[in-house]
């Protein structure tokens, strides 16, 4: 429901369904020149980075300095995905991202409605390139 205003922005032409999710200004200030390319396109409701890091709070919950950890660990990985998305832009890719977003949303809703959402668990992402570097390999294999 919190995405409803964004859907209105898509219908108005101010956003796209798929595209790079905007960062807050203090993180944009950290962008490299290459990362600045992500600001040239309309913001999207979903993206490959938003799928991979859809529960990023789980990656950051043990960090002493959450903002520093985000800036130094997650942001570079998110931007790598964003730039890869821009370089390989296609309608087929966008359709695939929309379908993955729908599946992730339904999975999240199912877990939430069934009471299986456990925020205290250590996060593991099965996207092979984006497993937190300080996480043991065997934990990455568990998902």
Nearest to 75 by CA among 94, 97, 60: 60
pTM: 0.71
CA-only gyration radius of the chain, Å: 16
Token pair recorded at residue 89:
């832009």
In this structure, the number of other CB atoms found within 10 A of the CB of residue 101 comes to 19
> Would you give the distance in Å from CA 22 to the centre of its chain?
11
Structure confidence by residue, pLDDT tens digits, 111-123: 766 655 444 343 3
> Is the pLDDT higher at 53 or at 2?
53
Give the mean model confidence (pLDDT) for residues 105-116: 71
> Is the pLDDT higher at 32 or at 137?
32
Residue 52 has pLDDT above 70, yes or no: yes
Residue 104 has pLDDT above 70, yes or no: yes
* Mean pLDDT, rounded, of the chain: 80
Residue 93 is predicted with a pLDDT of: 94
Backbone angles phi, psi at 17, to 5 degrees: -65, -45
Residue 81 is predicted with a pLDDT of: 94
CA quadruple 139, 140, 141, 143: dihedral positive or negative?
Answer: positive
């Amino acid at each position: 429901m919190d995405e409803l205003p964004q859907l209105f922005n898509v219908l108005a032409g101010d956003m796209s369904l798929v595209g790079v999710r905007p960062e807050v200004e203090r993180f944009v200030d950290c962008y490299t020149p290459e990362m600045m390319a992500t600001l040239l396109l309309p913001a999207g409701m979903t993206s490959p980075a938003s799928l991979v890091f859809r529960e990023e709070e789980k990656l950051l919950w043990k960090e002493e300095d959450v903002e520093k950890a985000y800036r130094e660990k997650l942001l570079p990985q998110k931007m790598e995905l964003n730039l890869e998305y821009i370089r390989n832009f296609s309608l087929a890719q966008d359709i695939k991202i929309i379908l993955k977003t729908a599946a992730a949303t339904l999975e999240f809703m199912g877990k939430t409605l069934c009471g299986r959402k456990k925020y205290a668990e250590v996060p593991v992402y099965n996207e092979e390139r984006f497993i937190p570097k300080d996480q043991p390999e065997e934990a990455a294999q568990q998902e």
